[in-house]
Structure 1
Amino acid sequence: MLRSALCVIGAGLAGQVAAEAPIVATDIAPVHSLVARVMVGVGEPDLIIPPVASPHNHAMRPSEARALQSAHVVFWVGEELTPWMVKPLSALSGDAQLVTLLDVDGTVLHDFRDVAEDDHHDHDDDHAKHDDHSEHADHDDHSSHVDHDDHAEDKHDDHADYEEHAEKDHAGHDDHGHDHDGIDPHAWLDPENARVWVQVIAETLAAADPDNAQQYRDNAQAADVELVELQAELIADLNGMQARRFITFHDAYQYFEKRFGLETSGSVSLGDASAPGPARLAAVQNKVTEDQIVCAFAEPQYDTRLVKTAIERTGATIYELDPIGVAINPGADQYTRLLRALVDGYQACAQGS
């Protein structure tokens, strides 16, 4: 597996005299947002995977491949989320630095689960590289967010391409076509991980670009304050959801659920969004009936027919959750808007049931 050597941050770059910001690339929109927040006032990172595409099986366009190849620094979640990126990342130039966020010390990690078959939600083998990082310095000033143009035409094209092959991709998989062991890669949905990551992002960029090191560090500290405040806001907004059970399209939300005390009854698809077979659909239908589920969450990237099948004749209502942020413009504030949008989805469930 490709892994970053974080102990030698800036290797190959620290010796350069940076007249301007390094070229930075990121994999998914939430990671792009965290990096963009740290780079406010200095530059903007490139986004490789459009929000409308699934990171599990995206096919890079030539323009995206070129952006990746020209990068000095690449931040990605890791092979567990985007195994198809391993080959293009291996072709990076020798001076480029790869930072694998799942490998960052302090990242809270959870193993893949299957709640539909195993109703135990607390796994002994879930783990963190360190305890929660709750002690951070207080800061008074908050840097302003950067606005990004809406690449509507590109998004439309990517969405059309994805819709064209998504059903075909899913048809080629069944319940036994994937290895569902190992780390659940959706770690960005725990804001405590975001707090850890922005500090590493800042130090990585400071080493690569000493001229702007203080700006990166100041931005990271301001982002940390914002993330602490965001968590307090989300805890208040989710009050009352802890007693409700629901199902999701695919099991992408356990980091969010565990951080905020939510409890799911299962998912139609497992964590890699592979298509379920008849046996799995039957198991989910049984869970919906047994747990008297009233809310099912679909995702905008995927056809809702599987979710409809799972709740057929149960009286449950379909709402929407989105772990990436399809409808949110990429930019420095995308991450906070993404988590608030998740809360909106859960609140819609609470209010409608």
Structure 2
Amino acid sequence: MIRNSQQLASFLMLFCLLIFIQSIVNYANAKIISSVKPIGFIAEAIASGVSDTDILLPDGASPHTYYLKPSDLAKLKAAVLVIWVGEDMEAFMPTILKNIDKQKQIELMTIPEIKGLLRTSHEDEDNHSHDESIQDHHQHGEYDEHIWLSPKIAKIIAQSIHDRLITLYPDKSALIDQNLREFNIKLAETEQNIAKKLITVQNRGYFVFHDAYGYFETQFGLKKLGSFTINPAVQPGVQKVYAIQQELKEHKAVCVFREPQFSPAVIEKLVDGTDVRIGELNPLGTGIVLSKDSYSQFLLKLTQQLLDCLDKN
């Protein structure tokens, strides 16, 4: 009986020790988790030297269609802070976040200062009277949630992350303040740089296959003519190809921008018989390494992708 009691006590002590060790490991692994990479770029700039950061979605994944893995769930549960856009962008998040403390998450679409700057999903449809069968209707809600493509909104996101980190790490407030100042200075320089670079192509019209760039286009005065709905996995039919070719010719488009998921053969088929050039845009920062300056690098890379196609004579 005594031996059994000693064994039970030893087992309980070992069990408690394992729980304690696991809690330490979880704490050590606790990071600031951002749903998509460009939001993660902003978080890294503000949290640099304060907390580790990580990004939920891997390169190449779409926030519209992503399915969480068990490792993702573990990341979210262990996170010190989760930053995401909104339920129309990341439909998989609300159910998971119900079980996570509200103080440990920031839903960007609910921030009042951001709400005042949102574009409605149908703004481009109001500006362009394109054929219903061609026009892009893939938007998932009332507002355009690709908010990371607005430098103005990025500044608000940075401030919101700063404010939350001050409450989480009050002993590191000076560093968090400094990170925010440096981010804002770098962002202002980047905006000026981009405005100068893009001024030469503001009158060159183009089409896109993913209507994600409205905030960026509006801020820098670009001339997007419209967008087309094409399923990357399905070859467009003859009528669709002809309709797109007519649109490109009618509106004197200089470029059509695809994204990495589109096969070159499909796009070449669509521009065949026109003078339209093919460019590639990436709204999710694929290939950019997480660093303090990665948000500016992301905007500059997007700018260069636009110039590579639009600025050719």
Matching residue of 1:69 = 77
Tell me the CA shift for residue 72 of structure 1: 2.5
Question: Could you say which residue in structure 2 is the equivalent of 1:187?
Answer: 147
Task: Give the structure with the larger helix fraction.
Answer: 2
Following superposition, the deviation at residue 114 of structure 1 comes to 7.3
The runs of 5 or more residues in structure 1 that have no matched partner are: 1-18, 122-173
Match of 1:160 in 2: none
What is the match of residue 111 of structure 2? 104
Q: Which has the higher contact order (CA 8 A, sep 6+)?
A: 1
Contact 1:247/1:266, CA 8 A, preserved across alignment: yes
**Match status 1:27 vs 2:17:** no
Indicate yes or no: 2:73 matched with 1:113.
no
Q: Distance in 2 between matches of 1:297 and 1:262?
A: 13
Name the CA distance, whole Å, in 2 between partners of 1:118 and 1:281. Answer: 23
Aligned residues: 281
Query: How far apart are residue 46 of structure 1 and its match?
Result: 1.8
Q: How does 1:96-245 map to 2 (within 5 A)?
A: 97-107=104-114, 108-113=117-122, 115=124, 119=128, 180-245=140-205
Q: Which residue of 2 aligns with 1:58?
A: 66
Structure 1 265/302 Cα, relative in aligned 2: closer, same or farther at 3 Å?
same
When normalised by structure 1's length, the TM-score is 0.71
Q: TM-score, normalised by structure 2?
A: 0.79
Distance in 1, matches of 2:85 and 2:291, equals 17
Answer yes or no: is the 8 Å Cα contact 2:288–2:298 preserved in 1. Answer: yes
Confirm or deny that 1:48 pairs with 2:56: yes
Q: CA–CA distance in 1 between the matches of 2:292 and 2:195?
A: 22
Which letter does structure 2 place at the counterpart of 1:336?
S
Could you tell me which runs of 5 or more consecutive residues in structure 2 were left unpaired when the two chains were aligned.
Answer: 1-26
Residues 230 and 118 (structure 1), Cα distance of their counterparts in 2 relative to 1, 3 Å cut: closer
State the structure with more CA Rg.
2
TM-align CA RMSD: 3.1
* Whole-angstrom distance in 1 between the partners of 2:139 and 2:43: 30
Aligned CA distance change for structure 1 residues 43 and 98 (closer, same or farther; 3 Å): closer
Percent identity over the alignment is: 27
CA pair 179-252 structure 1, distance change in 2 beyond 3 A: closer
Q: Which moved more, 1:300-309 or 1:175-184?
A: 175-184
The whole-number CA distance in structure 2 between the counterparts of 1:86 and 1:351 is 42
The one of 261, 282, 290 equivalent to 2:250 is 290
AA paired with 2:39? V
Tell me the distance in 2 between the aligned counterparts of 1:66 and 1:21.
10
Opposite residue 259 of structure 2, the aligned amino acid is: E
Does the Cα contact within 8 Å between 1:266 and 1:284 map onto a contact in 2? no
